[in-house]
A and B are shown apart, each in its own frame.
Chain A
């Protein structure tokens, strides 16, 4: 009996799922990832002003959040910023992706890749401090202190995130398609308009969604760059936590979470769509 089972075990191929401790580690990972989030969501429906004792179901805190003028203001600012910054970043990233995939290889192409993706490697704090100093200099020179700084900062930060899905999409696209369009009397612009653009569109939308979520979520860079009265939702929440914490924060965070889940889902659906 024992001998047979040993032999059986030997012929089975290696699988990580059979290593000792695999189940425990997997479970612990999921618990650590999702229990805090579930707790946050559950307590957003708490009738009491407590984050630890359950006092029955209620939508009080959602109501409070909606009626909070400041929350409305920072939410709208966050959404506006995310849409504008991600939109600009997607445009730039689309052009960059076209230039790096739809042309024959050129000198310095690897360098260009590295430069485009560099923001992913640079610590956010460094980018934040750099932008703070740079923008301060401009502010002194021009006196301008509007949302432009945040838009530029977020756009720059979002470009590599938007670039990756667009580039991935373009790389799966047959280069002969544009050639076929040209052969069928399409001018370069018509070939782009009728062939390249519709085919790359899912990648562009995915890039936009990813950039949108990244912009919505960014705390560090916003914290460094924002002027007075330019709080976004994440920096506002951070500020509130220093004072008194009520489940209103849970309600805001839950809504925020829902929005991110929707955006990320759209991103995945779009980037899985086949060319």
Chain B
């Protein structure tokens, strides 16, 4: 039996980046001929050791396929896949130093909680004493000591989730793969498990690759996020980069609420451009990585609603200061902590401004009123065409 004994990932020196997973031009096609479906095309990404890396995208975007390729449940149609420096294409899931937490947990119903957690160690033929010791440690880690002898059917969904985590962590894999593990939980439990997962990741120092379609989950938990659509990675970056500097229309639209405007590039440097917005205002804007636009080109820019401010509707500041856009109020939607004011700009484009509902906030402007919009510095992001 060719089971490797995966060594615990050694903790990297602070600041040092060691690549754990190296994916190069990976592709996967299901079926053949006319029915062939390309689930993954030319995906390249490297995931660092000890990183909480999230694959984010809508269903059918290829994120689960990518996870299965890493786990070994599927074999790639092309490209390279290295884990810990070793090419793993052609190896089965039992030969890879990778463990998975399944969406439906897939706990073995005929085994107790402790037996489930110890299963991987048993298959690796670790000595009984070590197995017992590790199982106890895992039970403590996920706070399930009292449930060791229960069957999976006798514990709650949240507890099953923790057992599934402990079972996957017990063999000390180099990489832990998590396939939408929180989607079956209710909101409150999901929040709890999010911080629990983050805690486990920090405590174990294992590389986590997390798959989700929930952008909030991705933003709050990850060190880095890869946004996927139609079998491709559109952008990889920290949650802040993905949110504040989306490179692509899909990324901007998928994560958070945003405003899209057409603008004309007036002047351009390596990282910044001056664009003319509808209505004539000229503003500095961030360019996406790789640039790819020129002066005179028409581009799409995005502006987050919370980076915009209504002027002349409250006491803060003179009436027209910094106003770059103007439009008419169409409706206001109250969200508790803030209110979204929907405008129709003079050229007909819809635009949303988010108003923080502070204690001092005045009521939002009434429908039909003409208002001006000011933008925070760096609020305008140019998208890749």
Minimum CB–CB distance from A151 to chain B (whole Å) comes to 33
Given contacts A182-B93, A183-B94, A185-B94, contact A199 B120 (CB under 8 A): no
Given contacts A195-B108, A199-B110, contact A184 B119 (CB under 8 A): yes
- B123 in the interface (beta carbon within 8 A): yes
- Known contacts A177-B108, A184-B119; can you find 9 more A-B pairs with CB under 8 A? A180-B100, A180-B107, A181-B123, A182-B94, A183-B73, A184-B99, A184-B167, A187-B123, A199-B109
- A179 in the interface (beta carbon within 8 A): yes
Minimum CB–CB distance from A139 to chain B (whole Å) comes to 47
Minimum CB–CB distance from A176 to chain B (whole Å) comes to 4
Interface residues of B in 206-230 (CB under 8 A from A): none
Q: A23 to B120, alpha carbons, bound, how many Å?
A: 59
Given contacts A190-B123, A199-B110, contact A184 B104 (CB under 8 A): no
Minimum CB–CB distance from B242 to chain A (whole Å) comes to 29
User: Chain B residue with minimal CB distance to A175?
Assistant: B106
- A73 in the interface (beta carbon within 8 A): no
Q: Specify which chain A residues have a CB less than 8 angstroms from the CB of B110 in the assembled complex.
A: 198-199
- A42 in the interface (beta carbon within 8 A): no
- A237 in the interface (beta carbon within 8 A): no
Q: Which residues of B contact A (CB under 8 A)?
A: 1, 3, 71-73, 92-94, 98-100, 102, 104, 106-110, 119-120, 123-124, 167-168, 171
Which of A180, A187, A194 contacts B102 (CB under 8 A)?
A180
Which of B72, B94, B100 contacts A186 (CB under 8 A)?
B94
Q: A236 to B14, alpha carbons, bound, how many Å?
A: 86
Q: Specify which chain B residues have a CB less than 8 angstroms from the CB of A187 in the assembled complex.
A: 1, 3, 94, 123
Pick from A181, A183, A187, A194 the residue with the most CB of B within 10 Å: A183
Interface size class of A (residues with CB under 8 A): 10 to 19
Given contacts A182-B92, A183-B99, A184-B119, contact A176 B109 (CB under 8 A): no
User: Chain A residue with minimal CB distance to B3?
Assistant: A185
Q: A187 to B92, alpha carbons, bound, how many Å?
A: 9
- A275 in the interface (beta carbon within 8 A): yes
24 contacts between A and B (CB under 8 A): A174-B106, A176-B104, A179-B73, A179-B102, A180-B100, A180-B106, A182-B72, A182-B92, A183-B71, A183-B73, A183-B98, A184-B119, A184-B123, A184-B167, A184-B171, A185-B3, A185-B171, A186-B119, A187-B94, A187-B123, A190-B123, A194-B119, A198-B110, A275-B109
